[in-house]
Amino acid sequence: MFEPQDRSTPGEEEPGIREKLSEAISAAGDLLSTRVEIFGQEASKKAGHLARGLAGLAVALFLICLGILLFTALLVSLFTLLFGQLWAGILATLVLYGAGCAAAAAFGWKALTKVRPFEFPVTGAELARDWEAVTRAVQGEPDEIAMTEGAAPTGSLSRGPVVTSADDMEARFRAGSE
């Protein structure tokens, strides 16, 4: 009699939902740690711009205070001697302090415009790539198999070490940060 042929072999079963979920959680943890490192690098760059901007504004404030308290009388007296009139000495002093304050404020403002606190382009692009990879994995599409550098395919079935997509992303991050 005709018996149905068992096409499945014990070693080649597809992974169940638990295995897939475990792999997805593991990959998500790896990706999250990588994204946190990328975010940290971008945030530190923004912090540098912020520090330079605040330092410039602090210098502007310091110059205003010093100018008012310490040098005003001296400069007024020098300009009064130079121009021969008291009002001309006071006006020249005010113009000089205004120029110093404007230069320091312009430097600080220029540095602050580079901060852009809500823009993280590298992190956003990587998160978009991660989302695409997750949607492909959920839809059941096969992962791309990447070759490591230096491992060239030979004529046989052996293709060398296989790098998973999470390992590939980690390698790209490490290469970019060195």
pLDDT (0 to 100) of residue 143: 55
Q: Which of 112, 97, 118 is nearest to 39 (CA)?
A: 118
User: Is residue 14, in this structure, part of any structural domain at all?
Assistant: no
User: Is residue 136, in this structure, part of any structural domain at all?
Assistant: no
Q: Are 120 and 36 in contact (CB under 8 A)?
A: no
User: Is residue 110, in this structure, part of any structural domain at all?
Assistant: yes
pLDDT (0 to 100) of residue 50: 93
Per-residue pLDDT of the chain (178 residues; tens, 9 = 90+): 455 555 555 556 677 888 888 888 888 888 889 889 999 898 898 999 999 999 999 999 998 887 777 777 888 899 899 999 998 988 998 898 899 999 999 999 999 998 888 888 888 888 889 888 888 888 876 655 443 444 444 444 444 454 456 566 667 667 666 6
User: Is residue 108, in this structure, part of any structural domain at all?
Assistant: yes
pLDDT (0 to 100) of residue 52: 93
User: Is residue 129, in this structure, part of any structural domain at all?
Assistant: no
- The structure tokens 């590939």 sit at 168
User: Is residue 1, in this structure, part of any structural domain at all?
Assistant: no
pLDDT (0 to 100) of residue 21: 86
| Owning domain of residue 94 | 59-121
The alpha-helical segments, DSSP class H, found in the chain are: 17-66, 72-83, 86-112, 121-139, 165-177
Enter the pTM of the model. 0.38
Q: How far apart are CA 28 and CA 34, in angstroms?
A: 10
**Total tally of structural domains belonging to the chain:** 1
User: Is residue 99, in this structure, part of any structural domain at all?
Assistant: yes
Cβ-proximal residues to 55 (8 Å cutoff; 6+ apart), any chain: 108
